[in-house]
Amino acid sequence: MKVSGEALMGDQSYGIDMNTAERIAEEVGAAVKAGYEMCLVIGGGNIFRGLQAAAKGMDRAAADYMGMLATVMNALAMQTALERRGVQTRVQSAIPMTTVCEPYIRRRAVRHMEKGRVVIFAAGTGNPFFTTDTAAALRAAEMGCDALFKGTQVDGVYSADPKKDPNAERYDQLDYLDVIARDLKVMDASAVTLMRDNQIPIVVFDIQKTNGLADVLDGRGVCTVVGPKPAQKR
């Protein structure tokens, strides 16, 4: 599951609202107890945005590395919230910092998940010029995930921002190529392409809704599924 950094802000304008983190942790914990293997990627936009800093004159690579460090802070906060609920959690960082978390090792991450632990992948891909969306897609492919869930502020994918455009059209299902061709702001193009190449569906849902994750996992929730185009009936 990919969670944006902004989702952790709650009603604040900056930083981590631990009440919000606790609520998301409650949902993830419920999914684990229901038997699902879960891994997470959390963005860092609630603390630092590399792209915005670069636009103001900061070196892009340095700005992106700072953004990666912000994702580590969010990952540690989410780990704390999950472990308060008795959910064993491991944070693995693409940038080695062994004092606070494990380095990213794919086979170790797979083993953690097999043991019922939640793995939070921090520091993006470990490389500048790549978003945490791409990191989430990459980890989903590496872990052999059945689906990539993206928790957003709305209940699916729209033709425009529904908070600004009341006439925005909501989609129940989209093909990967539709997302790219229409420039829909689901995930960046490299992430969508990676999911297309590995035939992993992207499920976009409202992370702010109580029990939103559980409802979508049960097939009852409102969401948009981005996946292979359905075969035409003859």
Tokens of 136: 């989430």
Q: Is 98 annotated as a binding residue?
A: no
Q: What is the DSSP letter of 117?
A: -
127 is in an annotated binding site: yes
Amino acid at 140: A
Is 13 annotated among the ligand-binding residues?
Answer: no
Place of tokens 């915005």: 52
183 is in an annotated binding site: no
The answer to whether 131 is a known ligand-binding residue is yes
Query: How many residues are given for the chain?
Result: 234
User: According to the annotation, is 128 in a ligand binding site?
Assistant: yes
Please indicate if the annotation marks 2 as binding a ligand: yes
Is the separation of the CB atoms in 74 and 14 below 8 Å? no
Q: 49 labelled as ligand-binding? A: yes
Q: Is 132 annotated as a binding residue?
A: yes
Q: Is 5 annotated as a binding residue?
A: yes
Residue 52 assigned as binding residue: no
Whole-angstrom CA distances from 88 to 15, 68, 81, 112, 162 are 24, 23, 11, 9, 37
Is 175 annotated in some ligand binding site? no
44 is in an annotated binding site: yes
**193 among annotated binding-site residues:** no
Count Cβ atoms within 10 A of the Cβ of residue 209 and give its class: 0-12 exposed, 13-18 middle, 19 or more buried: middle
Annotated ligand binding at 197? The verdict is: no
Residue 29 is assigned to a ligand binding site: no
Q: Is 224 known as a binding-site position?
A: no
161 annotated ligand-binding residue: yes
**DSSP helix/strand/coil, 86:** coil
Annotated binding site: 2-5, 44-45, 49, 64, 125-132, 152-153, 158, 161
Annotated binding site for ATP: 2-5, 45, 49, 152-153, 158, 161
Annotated binding site for UMP: 44, 64, 125-132
